[in-house]
Structure 1
């Protein structure tokens, strides 16, 4: 999850040092992404909502949780969703040396690929926190850094309707939407406080319904770039 007080520097989209922020698409699609799972409390409900909507998403998983919940990881794949790496745990990478970022990211990629039996293409740094050296370490692992351009701040404990409204406000084709199917906590190396009390499934259904009303089809990042093109921009924050 993104810390509310995180400092951010976003440079022009023409920058050669880039993280994926949006996608140009030939059809009205948005990229739906989920972070911090899989967890038994939230992931099954999110999968149910996606199935009912006929939508696909990219799940940026934490390896420590995926290894504890291999059946949930298998359910994500069986449902036709894309799996990407969010890290071994949820430790902020900008607190680590570039060498440690390289080691941990490479190890996380290898462990996740072993579980999936397939290559992993995308990486989203926890909290979206990366500096140039962090970004370079991610690229050395053969991964593309993926951030976002739209979120409803679903780590805040607000009513589902309010969170959904924030997520949908101004939504347009090519958006990369950040959502969560879990809450980072002590089991993944951080203390982000109590999880929001709302239903993640309920939020997923509200957002999916709102996207449908706007004529926007939610797809995974891999599906979107298969017919469109990733748009990158430099994104650095502590």
Structure 2
């Protein structure tokens, strides 16, 4: 989750210190990404909605939750989705020393790869919070930082139709869309208050229906870059 009032610095896409923000890919594809899972209350419904639409996504998981729900993690993989690292927990990395960021990220990568028995390529910092120093620490762990350029702020407790409309407003080929199949809370080291009342499954169906109506194909980040390329730009926010 990312509080909408947080001030951010987003530099031109040509910056050498870059995080993945969009993609160039054949056809009319958008990248769907889900953060903060896996959790029993929301992840299965999101998986069901994706399956109904024949869609793929990248799930940025929290290791603490993945280790509690290894069966759910296996379901994500078995459905053909990509798994990436969101962190051991949801602690804001910009509050930590770079050495601690590197230690935690390396440990999270190792633990997630052990669960998956497969390498992990992508990393998204909790809250999208990143400084040049934390970015460098993540890169030293062999991970590629990923942010986004499209979100409906689905951590806010608002009517699901409003959140879906905001997510789809102006969506275009090449966008990286931020969604959630969980909510950051005390079990992952933070207190972000109560989660939204709407069901993540309902939001997923509305967003997927809207993408199909616009002639856009939802894919994972790995799928998108396999036949295209990632577009990077500097993105720093506390």
Give TM-score, length-normalised by structure 2.
1.00
CA distance in 2, matches of 1:206, 1:5: 26
CA distance in 2, matches of 1:113, 1:7: 33
Partner of 1:7 in structure 2?
7
Partner of 1:222 in structure 2?
222
Partner of 1:60 in structure 2?
60
Partner of 1:111 in structure 2?
111
Shift of 1:75: 0.1
The residue correspondences of 1:121-132 to structure 2 (distance < 5 A) are 121-132=121-132
- Any gaps of 5 or more consecutive residues in structure 1? none
Partner of 1:90 in structure 2?
90
Q: Secondary structure at the match of 2:166?
A: helix
Partner of 2:79 in structure 1?
79
Partner deviation per Cα, 1:31-72 (whole Å, 9 max, x = no partner): 000000000000000000000000000000000000000000
Partner of 2:232 in structure 1?
232
Shift of 1:4: 2.3
Partner of 1:170 in structure 2?
170
Q: Does 1:148 align with 2:148?
A: yes
Partner deviation per Cα, 1:134-153 (whole Å, 9 max, x = no partner): 00000000000000000000
- How many pairs does the alignment contain? 238
Partner deviation per Cα, 1:72-102 (whole Å, 9 max, x = no partner): 0000000000000000000000000000000
Partner deviation per Cα, 1:80-138 (whole Å, 9 max, x = no partner): 00000000000000000000000000000000000000000000000000000000000
CA distance in 2, matches of 1:231, 1:223: 14
Structure 1 runs of 4+ with >4 Å offset: none
- Any gaps of 5 or more consecutive residues in structure 2? none
CA distance in 2, matches of 1:78, 1:108: 21
